[in-house]
Amino acid sequence: MNIRTNILLRVYLAFGFIVVLAFAVFFKMCQLQFVQGKKWKAMADSLSTRYVNVDAARGNIFSVDGSLLATSVPEYELHMDMLAGGIEDDKVFYDKVDSLAMKLSQFFGDKSAREYSAILREARRDSSRYQLVRRKVSYQDLKKIRKFPIFNLGKYKGGLIVIQKNKRILPFRTLAMRTIGYKNENVKNPVGLEGAYADYINGETGKRLMQRIAGGVWMPVNQDDEIAPKDGADIISTIDVNFQDVAQSALEKQLIKSNADHGTVILMEVATGEVRAVANFTKVEPGVYKEKFNYAIAGNQDPGSTFKVASYMALLEDKMVDTSTRVGTGTYKIPGHTIKDSHGSIGVVSVKKAFEESSNAAVAYLVNKAYHDDQAKFTDHLYDWHLNEKMGLQIPGEAQPVVKNPKNTSWNKNMTLPQMAYGYEMQLTPLKMLTFYNAIANNGKYVTPIFVREIRRLGNTVERFQTRVVNEKICSDVTLSKMKGMLEGVVDEGTGKSIIYNPLYKVAGKTGTAQVADANRGYRAKLQYQASFCGYFPANKPKYSLIVVINDPKNGYYGATVAGPVFREIADRVYASDLEIHQDQPTHYVGNTQLPKIKTGNFKALQQVYTKLGVKPLYASNTARNVDTSNGIPSQEMKFKPGTVPSVTGMGLSDALYVLGNAGFKTTVRGAGVVTKQSVTGGSIIPKGSRIIIELE
């Protein structure tokens, strides 16, 4: 092959390789552009812009009297765009940056003016579009900050970027904290009402378009959300803040006095099963108690002598004894164990007296004698009364009751039955025990406790929860009558007389003292006791049932002396403050009969309050224009033209929310106190469902 041919061959090969490579590149370009184009374009967009979730304002939790137990308030994160339109000119920025730094330093007090100035100047040199200025800023502070130099150049001009976040607060702080619960992304199991009704309270998240800028920082593309979040619904609980305060105060005081490990109190309305107060305290250090665990619904332990009510009810229902039946006290021997009365023998007495003096020996003997040959007959009563079942509470965490029967492998035919008679070898929560007493007070009707009355959205009821009846009649009227008499006798003549008895109203109940078993080493490892008192009042017409349980007190351990004072204090204050209990008593007017000025708003609620107080037209407030004498109280209905925005200036928050909600508008609240401004003037015509911002001071 000559030189010319060799050179041409090499040229053709090189040219052919280049042509093939060109076709390959062209093919790949076509594939990327037309076949995979959408995929890569979407990926590029995701790296530069993306939508992020915007949390909705969580719904409020109210007490039964309308007080706010939990709410979400806006909290703001402030950033600054150093290239905003109003400060593009260096002269404008540098002329005012030191003044802005001084204002920020004076306002927050965390850095000097020089430090703030250095931070802002450096951000300017770096052309930062999203410089963090401050986190956790309140709405009231934000209003003042907007007036600072540079920030006051106007919207989009001063570079101030405001990111709203929602902060959950409890206006009453520790009041009913465990019942209210909390939301925590790191906690899988829901806690309290916040956890149980999260689907309602959380609302629907919105969307905001964010753009990635230099340094990997994401900043909002627009000032407003692309998809606005939908606020959560409100929860109307059954808690009464006044009773809750009384319960927590009385329990904490006694826990400190007795140097106990923990304790719980539950106050329930007899007819409805609505829980008016529930307090749980655990010792965290000497003399300091906090709510850390819900013993009321999850604290399974031997109930002790408060359980004797169930034992005597079974005996009376089966006609094994009568209240006048004579029985010995002091000691009762069973194989392998001797049951003793801690206070010693009181001789041979009636069943009623043995119950009033809380004789363990007497009830163990009676139950063992009556049911020894058919032990399942006794436990069948307990199962018929649903003591072995969960109650299906509205809040999570309810413990599974443990009530044995002869089929259980741990059942001892000689020991289990007589020990169950006085509240051992079983596990019941305080709320479970209270519910049983509540059924006696409720003339035999067994109802489940409820913590939530209804769910509302924009003032309209979404769901209402009714009392659930588990058993219409737990026993005969004859047995009920005898049990009520025995429970009243405990306070009138028995173990509760010295502490619980009050000559102004009758109380029925039972003391309880139980030795608590160590989880690993049993009853004898360390002497720990549980003191309790469970009952209801006023005994002649029961309105409330109440249980107090105090665990491991160091200064005394009897139910009457440790739990009794808490029961007495709560019962006295509830009785004194509940107007319905005193309806049959004559009304007396003392002191100033002039009513204070009233705000317009929810007049149905106002009329109800005035009716309970017995206010008469003669003493009507001078703010009323029309007097409605049908209920004997003055009234001034809030009127506004349908389709227009009501004026709520001057109202409190509850009334303002009520009026605007009933008119069909969404409300955003800023501040606290009395409404001073509303974003849409009263009388304006806007579509229903529109959002109105109200400012309170």
Structure-token match 């008119």, residue found: 663
Indicate left, alpha or beta for 532 from its phi (over 0: left) and psi (-120 to 50: alpha).
beta
Give, in order, the Cα–Cα distances in Å from 363 to each of 336, 423, 507, 631: 18, 10, 23, 54
Give residue 300's identity as a one-letter amino acid code.
N
- pLDDT < 50 positions in the chain: 46, 519, 524, 597-598, 616-636
Residue 187's pLDDT is 63
How far is Cα 34 from Cα 366, in angstroms, rounded to an integer?
A: 91
H helix runs in 493-638, sequence order: 497-500, 559-562, 564-577, 603-613
Express each pLDDT in 155-178 by its tens digit.
Answer: 778 889 888 888 888 888 788 888
Question: SS3 of 79, please?
Answer: strand
Cα 620 from Cα 626, distance rounded (Å) = 10
Closest CA relative to residue 506, chosen from 492, 493, 486, 521: 492
Cβ neighbours, 10 Å, residue 134: 17
- Spatial CA neighbour of 424 closest among 345, 522, 520: 522
As a whole number of angstroms, the distance between CA 194 and CA 57 comes to 13
Q: In the block, which residue shows the tokens 């619980």? A: 500
Q: Outline where 259-397 has alpha helix (H).
A: 295-298, 308-317, 351-356, 360-371, 375-384
Residue with tokens 């204050």: 573
User: How high does pLDDT run on average in the chain?
Assistant: 85
Residue 48, Cβ density class (10 Å: 0-12 exposed, 13-18 middle, ≥19 buried): exposed
Q: List beta partners, residue 163.
A: 77
Cβ atoms of residues 301 and 577 within 8 Å: no
The phi, psi pair for 71, rounded to 5°, reads -150, 165
For residue 99, give every residue at least 6 positions away whose Cβ sits within 8 Å of its Cβ, in sequence order, or none. 149
Q: What DSSP character marks residue 305? A: G
Identify the CA nearest to 375 among candidates 329, 350, 408: 408
| Of 464, 52, 419, residue with least CA distance to 234 | 464
414 HSE (CA, 13 A, CB side)? 7
**Can you tell me the distance from the alpha carbon of 295 to that of 551, in angstroms, rounded to the nearest whole number?**
10
CA–CA gap between residue 391 and residue 398 (Å, rounded): 8
| Global model pTM greater than 0.85 | no
Packing angle between helix 308-317 and helix 375-384, nearest 10 degrees?
Answer: 110
Roughly how many angstroms between the first and final C-alpha of the chain, as a whole number? 103
* Rounded-to-integer distance, Cα 581 and Cα 576, Å: 9
Cα-Cα-Cα-Cα torsion 468, 474, 476, 481, nearest 10 degrees, comes to -90
Q: How far is CA 310 from the centre of its chain?
A: 31
Task: Specify whether the CB–CB gap between 399 and 294 falls below 8 A.
Answer: no
Q: How far apart are CA 111 and CA 7, in angstroms?
A: 78
Residue 338 phi, psi dihedral angles, 5° rounding: -120, 120
CA distance 165 to 646: 28
